Amino acid sequence: MRGGDPADGARRTGPGRRAGPESLELILAAVARGDHAAFRAVYDQVAPAVLGTARRVLRDPAQSEEVMQEVLLEVWRTAARFDPAAGSATAWIMTVAHRRAVDRVRSEQRAADRELRAATASIAYDDVSEAVEITLDQERVRRCLGGLTDLQRESVTLAYYGGYSYREVAQLLGVAVGTVKTRMRDGLIRLRDCLGVE
Amino acid sequence: MRTRGVMRTRGAGLHTLVGAYVMDAVSAADRASFERHLLTCEQCRSDVRGLREAAARLGAAASVPPRPELREQTVQAAERIRQLPPLVDREEGRQLAGHRRVASWQRLARPARLSARPWLARTAVSAAVVLALTATVFGLNMGSMQNRLSAAQQRDATIAAILGARDATTLTADVTTGGRATVVMSHRADALVFIGSHLTRLPASKAYELWLMGPAGASPAGMLPPDRNGMTGPMVVGRLTPGEHLAMTVEPESGARQPTSAPVVMVGLGD
């Protein structure tokens, strides 16, 4: 037998649940029941963010599309396991997306490519605007990133958009590993507070 | 509970790793250490939740529209993929506790990825396998095993949910025919993750099969896929009843309905 109606879970608003026009949590509950229309709705809501994240990390468009599709299919497959108490649906999906993109980088990227990426990753913050449609959310992220110290911002963007480990970031920035760890934490905390999530 | 996965946190050092962890900017070993730390640090779990929301916004800010044809391609691909059933809530287990549940174990999931690599017949498994003693377990080996867990497969959301559950407990046991078994169990999630490491490779005609064993007998809990880089699984097994055991036997490659040989490992699921 199947468990309780996932929609019940989705209605229990978890911490950090994003109060947006979407109620991705509810749509996910329908996806969990095999609803293709709901899956299309999820796709429409998250595919651009998933693809964009993969593009930032992987750079290669074809690989990024593969990751995007893998992530969406993982969402389809595991929708019933989504736990609203553990965070918002968006965070869940983006966590899967980012990890998958980074895993792919780590497993496939050769040393030479990495050096090449080092040259391009530093512009990550600046080309947030490269996205086709600048939404209010995007503008807000931009503004909040601007509120970090330089070192916090570089640490966060190299890690998140560049897909670098904190050790690599330390190397790239020429600062101590411990410093990078704390800047990543403090930067993300400041970002969280600025964005008003959770 | 017979065994405890008591973890010593490595002090505040791990605490600062939260940002790097959330952004996947950690090595597999760091990830494992931090996740071990998470098991015992409520504040850290809460931090992870909040910071994940923030990180998700970074991702959303990078949005690019996919090529239009990818949409239907993805939907069509989904039609060919079986969805996982929900993890049945612990509360439901409680509701059912009054009537003793007939052991109707069910395998929840089988890893989607099947290795194409042929099995290597290396060692024939002795038919006279001694019944393994109930596993006991030990912080000592958790490190390396959780490293393996992390490095290999934690991207699977289900597995992550079990590993991240507040009551997650790690149990490891030697397999009598070689290798080790690790079980991360959450009664709250009503499921466990099984991973074999360096299990003796079997002839192609044989495979390892998991069972849940209780007073009502043994129920199949899934066939293990071939190992990859010395790691087998992870497998997710759901619907746990306290007091029963997870066991593994060597069976014909197609699986058996009841064990045909003595277990090569048994792990108590606690009570």
The pLDDT of residue B145: 40
For B166-190, how does the pLDDT look when each residue is reduced to its tens digit (9 = 90+)? Answer: 777 778 888 989 988 888 888 777 8
Task: Give every CB contact of residue B33 below 8 A, 6+ residues apart in sequence.
Answer: B10, B14, B17, B143
Q: Determine whether the interchain pair A92/B158 forms a contact, defined as Cβ–Cβ distance below 8 Å.
A: no
CB B128 within 8 A of CB B177: no
pLDDT top residue among A90 and B198:
A90
> In the prediction, which pLDDT does A147 show?
95
According to the model, what pLDDT value does residue A110 have?
Answer: 52
Instruction: Give a yes or no: residue B71 inside a domain.
Output: no
Please give the mean pLDDT across all residues of chain A: 81
pLDDT at B248 over 70: yes
Q: In B, which residues are within 8 Å of A65 by CB distance?
A: 66-67, 70
Asked if pLDDT for residue A113 goes beyond 60, the answer is no
- Which range, of A107-121, B135-149, B228-242, averages the lowest pLDDT? B135-149
**Six token digits for residue B116:** 């194409």
pLDDT on residue B172:
80
pLDDT at A54 over 50: yes
Mean pLDDT of the residues in chain B: 70
Q: Is residue B135 pLDDT above 60, yes or no? A: no
pTM: 0.56
Residue A157 in this model has a pLDDT that exceeds 80: yes
Please check whether residue B55 is in contact with residue B126, taking contact to mean a CB–CB distance below 8 angstroms: no
For residue B12, what pLDDT is reported? 59
Q: Where are the domains of chain A?
A: 1-108, 110-198
B38 occurs within a structural domain: no
Please check the confidence at residue B95 and state whether its pLDDT lies above 60.
Answer: no
Report pLDDT for A65.
94
Nearest-neighbour CA in chain B from A111: distance (Å): 16
Range of the domain at B229: 90-268
pLDDT band, residue B271 (cuts 50/70/90): low
- CA atoms of B125 and B33, how far apart (whole Å): 35
B129 touches A: beta carbon within 8 Å: no
Percent of chain A with pLDDT over 70: 74
Residue B255, in any domain of the structure: yes
Task: Name which of A80, A137, A138 is nearest B83 (Cβ-Cβ).
Answer: A80
Residues in chain B closer than 8 A to A180 (CB atoms): 20
Interface mutation target, options A22, A138, A185, chain B, most CBs of B under 10 Å: A185
Q: What Rg value do the Cα atoms of chain B yield, rounded?
A: 20
CB distance B157 to B46 below 8 Å? no
Q: What is the pLDDT of residue B55?
A: 97
Residue to substitute from A184, A189, A194, interface B, most B β-carbons within 10 A: A184
Q: Is residue B34 part of a domain?
A: no
* Tally of domains within chain B: 1
Residue A105 and residue A163 in contact, taking contact as beta carbons nearer than 8 Å? yes
Given the candidates 1.10.10.10, 3.90.1150.10, 1.10.357.10, 3.40.50.300, the CATH classification of the domain at A110-198 is 1.10.10.10
Q: Backbone dihedral region of B234: left (phi > 0), alpha (psi from -120 to 50 degrees) or beta? A: beta
Q: Considering only CB atoms, which chain B residues are within 8 Å of A4?
A: 86, 89, 92
Chain A closest CA to B126's CA: distance in Å? 37
Sheet of strand B217-223: strand arrangement: B217-223, B206-214, B245-252, B265-268
Q: Do domains A1-108 and A110-198 have the same CATH topology?
A: no
For residue A125, the 8-state DSSP code is: T
Q: Does domain A1-108 have CATH number 1.10.3720.10?
A: no
In a domain, B96, yes or no: yes
Residue A171 touches partner B, C-beta closer than 8 Å:
no
Q: Is B257 exposed, middle or buried (0-12, 13-18, 19+ CB in 10 A)?
A: exposed
SS3 track for B106-125 = EEEECCCCCCCCCCCCCCCC
Using DSSP's 3-state secondary structure scheme, residue A42 falls into helix
Give yes or no for residue B128 having a pLDDT over 70: no
